[in-house]
Amino acid sequence: MTAFPQRLVDGYRAFVGGRLHTEQDRYRELSEIGQSPETMVIGCCDSRVSPEVIFNARPGELFVARNIGNLVPAYTPDGAQRAMSAALEFAVQALKIKHLVVLGHAQCGGIRAYVEPGAPLSPGDFIGSWMQIIEPAAKALGPRRADETLDAYASRLEQAAMRTTLQNLMTFPCVRILVERGKLKLHAAYFGVADGRLLVLDPASDRFVPIAAEEHARVFAQPRF
């Protein structure tokens, strides 16, 4: 049997001596009564963008589903894309979450694969097929402007894709009904990998605006050694 990665062994040791030690009662309670998170986060598989870290969440506080590009396909009664649909159904109907957050981020590799199409990584081209979900967002955004860098265009597409995901979520009857009844709220947030800034979609203006901006500015104003 291949040796378990040493980095994970070391990380678990740190967990046992740190968080597990300080939150033992929390873990025991969760094992007995089960989970009841109020928030589901649909995030990207990108290793740099961990919802639990970004939102400083305790065990049991977030129900997280991650995929390439933090996407949700439109509802299909035939059950296509079952993994994402199943996670969504469980969160909404079994856990009865109150908030559903689509967490996108800068420098998304999935978006980059869409805007810079190259040779597929496999005969099935799983990434390319999956990223076709954002095609409506790309069409609505329009072609890249003549004076626009590829990075700038990709950033705009990252945020446009999140709007499309919100629209796709509303095609699920279990989501739409609860949203219309005021029992479920949909949100979108955009994380800057380089600077750690978090933007949240404002429904009134349809613009991404920063939150906790003062705290963020104070951190970046402090000297680093």
Residues β-bridged to residue 41: 64, 101
Q: Distance of CA 89 to CAs 96, 138, 153, 210, 212, Å?
A: 10, 27, 33, 30, 31
Residue type, 90: F
Residue type, 150: L
The per-residue pLDDT for range 19-53, each reduced to its tens digit, is 998 999 999 999 999 999 999 999 999 999 999 99
Q: Name the nearest CA neighbour of 103 among 59, 57, 153, 64.
A: 64
Q: CB of 160 within 8 A of CB of 138?
A: yes
- The structural domain count of the chain equals 2
Q: CB of 201 within 8 A of CB of 195?
A: no
Do 3 and 69 lie in a common domain? no
Do 27 and 133 lie in a common domain? no
Residue type, 109: G
Do 92 and 137 lie in a common domain? yes
Q: Name the nearest CA neighbour of 70 among 140, 176, 168, 211.
A: 168
Do 12 and 106 lie in a common domain? no
Within 8 A by CB and 6+ apart from 73, the residues are: 80, 81, 84, 85, 133, 168
Q: What's the pLDDT score for residue 118?
A: 77
Do 93 and 26 lie in a common domain? no
Q: What's the pLDDT score for residue 77?
A: 80
Mean per-residue pLDDT pooled into runs of 10, the chain (225 residues): 89 93 92 95 97 95 96 82 88 97 96 84 84 93 93 95 96 96 98 95 94 88 70
DSSP assigned state of 94: I
Do 54 and 8 lie in a common domain? no
Do 116 and 211 lie in a common domain? yes
Domain that holds residue 130: 35-221
Do 98 and 179 lie in a common domain? yes
0.85 cut: is pTM over it?
yes
Query: Residue 127 is part of a domain; what is its CATH number?
Result: 3.40.1050.10
